[in-house]
Chain A
Amino acid sequence: MNLPRILLGGLANLGLVMIFAPACEGLLRKVTALIQSRQGPPLRQAYFDLLKLLGKEDLESGQTPWVQRFAACLSPATALTVACLVPMGFPAPLNGVGDAILLIYLLTLSGIGTLLGGLAAGSTYSLVGISREMMTMIALEPLFTVTILAGAVHTGSLRVNQVLDGSVYATAGFPWSGLVLFGVILASFQAFVQRAPFDIAEAETELMDGPLLEYSGPKLALFRYAQMIRLVVYSALFVSLFVPWGSGLAFPIGWLLFWAKVLGVVLLVTVVAATHARYRIDQAIRFFAGLLAAALGALLLASYGH
């Protein structure tokens, strides 16, 4: 282990994700607008939105302001820590420090940031929102865990660099479990990044942004930023887990290829979000339950080496 290397890699990942995330959001909005026959905002609009929110008055309207402040920091912080655990075109910076188990914990924690935020705000709509968020989390949580575990089973290691390198396909024969998990995560991906048809907890037209209802100004900017970062980080995670090909190429090519694939995932998310209506929470949970069954089946297959 080598400290400068960790620091440099960490900074590179953090910087990239932080700079790239609003651009991805901007791209998502622009493509959505094109699908909707609109002109849409310029690509840089997401940066302006964040800056504008950061400069606005911070109304502390919730019930427990200090928890709200903490929650607003927790969300982006965990999402960014995850970014240091994911290989983004070169090995994960925190490879030697954290393992796949830590990754699983951190993924959960970033969701808990939103929960905490809604709970501390304490308005009726936030509470309905977090009850939905909680149900979604309980159903979704095992999906990525199973995927990462399957990778760990295949490679016999919990090191993020090994697990997050297409390891789900690393079987002797045809990668049955890997393909099932690929399908499962693809089908639930919109929920991980909180986009339609699974933006149920925030559901603007029902709950007026649910857990985020009581937030304004800088804190809202942090939550929004966390959401943008989550889109990039989860897309990177998806690419590392399921579309590893070409990541091993020499520096600029492998790196460029990686980010091109991440952009591809973002575009996919955009198109799905723009062509679907929001599901109801009971419909979503039933859907997730089916996926969970499939994921567990895949884990069983994986443990027998398929």
Chain B
Amino acid sequence: MTARERLGQLRTKFGSAIRRADVPGDHRLFVYVESCALKAVCRYLFLDLDARYVVSIGADDRPYSGGFLLAHDFAFDADHLLCSVLTHLPAENPKADSISGVVPAANWAEREIRDLVGIEPVGHPYPKRLVLPDGWPENAHPLRKDAPWNELPAGFDPEREFQFDDPPEGCIVVPFGPFHPTLDEPAHFRLFIEGERVRGCEYRGFMVHRGIEKLAESVLTYNDIPMMAERICGICGCVHNVAYAQAVESAAGVTIPPRAEYIRTIMLEVERLHSHLLWVGLACHIVGFDTLFMQSWRIREPLMWAAEKISGNRKTYALCLIGGVRWEITPELALELRQVLDRLETEWRAVAAAVSRDKNLQKRTRGVGVAGPALVKSAGLIGPVARAAGVEIDCRRDHPYAAYDRVEFNVITADGCDVWSRVVVRMNEVFESVRILRQCLEKMEPGPLQSPVAAELPVGRLGLSSVEAPRGESHHFVITGENNRPRRWRVRAPTYQNLQAVPAMIKDQQIADMTISLGSIDPCFSCTDRIETIDLKSGETRIWTQEELIRNLRP
């Protein structure tokens, strides 16, 4: 069904509650609805039309329209359609009915909007603080336009502690994180353990929230942001770089030259390859199988060198600008990449064959961390986690971007719903990535890398972009704005959805399966927020507190 037909469905059902609709093409739909009908429209989209929930966005639109803007993004994957349901809210005391009751996947996004923008989700099932630090005052919302990007709000109390829920009766609390050998980044899970079984858990994350969106909306410019965006993730940064550029291009109606599209595709697949090899290694390390960990990383290394030769960096490629890419893949580099791919494919075949025969590894991963199709739907799970549950979604095919409509590849699925299926999916996706890369190198025609872009991009336009990251769909939402920067830029990394389902995946499982279950979504949190210094002469150790750091870093 096309965007117009979907809009027809909504109009028939809700009539005048649909105030306005923009249909910029067959693959994008923006529907403005009355705030009182928002929940009903979302319920209809999610349950009756079986749309996939993507993310919710809150924006302070007071300087432009005099109120707040709330959007819920959905995807019709089979229709190749991304759809945003928007509503305007008043400037005073903005609130809207929570949709988390009908769309459980919206739980975090609504809490985040409450924290950062201050739009109250009325009737939210678990309205606890999510993103803001423990000491942040209740009434300060950093993403509002009147909140400065570089100041702590009045009333910030560094001493205040987070109030955790009480554990269920008969359970002891085992803290997992904020620092733990299997967590690459800080995140805190309070596991409620009965014997060796996990009965529940509470998550407290966002410890190193860096306020990148706020920076983009207040300090950076359109072409600075891609470089900041790729620093969102330490593994799949290029995904955010491309997704941001595409969102702005889609909002401003910029088309990019074919060669740039191929180069974007190539770098995204190089990134997927190295990320999947990295993950298989880490997963093996988590279950104590270090030999495969080392072998995966050895096989991955030449690819990192190739990426460094192409882009100048092992993984921060600094690839996109609005309207194209920054650098060329020369024939020599292409030849070298081919050779790396040939060797990688051969070596990976041996690994894949060995792993598929390994009973011992299967024993640890089969039936563990189960996420079935029902959980995939309700929690909005994506990427290898969804595909391992037999849900065939892949943005590369469903919402084609860059040059993915010109290459052939299979969407790999499995039906075990467990960690083992996720291993199988990721291992086989490596071969599909190699296939895509070979086709791109084959089909790429010489041509310009950059389209001419107007000095001023149109203002107030909306852009959506979904890119299939190694971990799942990475979704970017942009409202273009004045001063050469977007008014609102919302990034939804794939872990944001997948992580929400971890408590359900580990419930009633053994504590030993916790790490591999969490590992199986390939979580990606963020960076670190305190430093310790040692004076080499006196041997004195000093730990810098947050306040001291801020005092020293800010003029």
A residues adjacent to B (C-beta < 8 A) = 32, 35-38, 124-125, 128, 131, 196-197, 199-200, 203-206, 208, 274-283
Contact = CB atoms under 8 A, between A and B. Distances in A.
A289 to B, nearest CB: 16
Contact of B513 (A32, A124, A280): A280
Contact of B175 (A38, A124, A196, A277): A124
A206 B514 contact: yes
A36 B285 CA distance: 12
A280 B364 contact: yes
B467 to A, nearest CB: 31
Contact of A36 (B182, B286, B294, B512): B294
A212 B289 CA distance: 21
Interface string B503-524: 0000000111111000000000
Interface in B341-365: 358, 360-361, 363-364
Nearest to B514: A206
B287 A282 contact: no
B511 A205 contact: no
Given A37-B294, A37-B295, A277-B361, A206 B515 contact: yes
B478 interface: no
Contacts of B286: 205
Nearest to A202: B288
B294 A276 contact: no
B284 A36 contact: no
Interface of B: 172-175, 180-182, 193, 196, 284-291, 293-295, 298, 358, 360-361, 363-364, 510-515
Contacts of A206: 182, 511-512, 514-515
B49 to A, nearest CB: 42
17 contacts: A35-B291, A36-B290, A36-B291, A36-B293, A36-B295, A128-B511, A196-B289, A197-B360, A199-B288, A203-B512, A205-B288, A275-B291, A276-B288, A276-B360, A278-B287, A280-B510, A281-B510
B291 A278 contact: no
B294 A277 contact: no
B510 A282 contact: yes
B291 A203 contact: no
Contacts of A280: 364, 510, 512-513
A124 B284 contact: no
Contacts, number: 80
A200 B360 CA distance: 14
A277 B288 contact: yes
Contacts of A281: 196, 510, 512
Given A277-B287, A278-B288, A205 B182 contact: yes
Given A35-B291, A277-B358, A277-B364, 15 more contacts: A32-B291, A36-B294, A36-B295, A37-B294, A196-B288, A204-B288, A208-B180, A274-B290, A274-B291, A277-B287, A278-B288, A279-B360, A280-B512, A282-B196, A283-B364
A279 B289 CA distance: 10
A206 B287 CA distance: 9
Given A37-B294, A276-B360, A281-B196, A197 B288 contact: yes
Nearest to B509: A280
A205 B172 contact: no
A197 B293 CA distance: 15
A128 B174 contact: yes
A203 B174 CA distance: 15
B289 A277 contact: yes
A241 B287 CA distance: 33
A205 B291 contact: no
A61 to B, nearest CB: 15
A283 B288 contact: no
B201 to A, nearest CB: 14
B296 to A, nearest CB: 10
A205 B196 CA distance: 16
A276 B354 CA distance: 12
Nearest to B196: A281
B172 A124 contact: yes
A280 B511 CA distance: 9
Contacts of B510: 280-282
Nearest to A124: B174
A277 B181 CA distance: 17
A197 B362 CA distance: 13
A243 B290 CA distance: 30
A205 B515 CA distance: 7
Contacts of A277: 284, 287-289, 358, 360-361, 363-364
Contacts of B295: 36-37
Given A276-B289, A279-B363, A208 B181 contact: yes
A204 B285 CA distance: 10
Contacts of A131: 196
B534 to A, nearest CB: 13
Nearest to B361: A277
A277 B361 CA distance: 6
Nearest to B174: A124
B192 to A, nearest CB: 12
Contacts of B193: 128
A278 B289 contact: yes
A35 B181 CA distance: 23
A278 B511 CA distance: 14
A203 B175 contact: no
Contacts of A37: 294-295, 298
Contacts of A283: 363-364
Nearest to B195: A131
| Most chain A CB atoms below 10 A, which of B288, B364, B514 | B288
B543 to A, nearest CB: 15
B181 A205 contact: yes
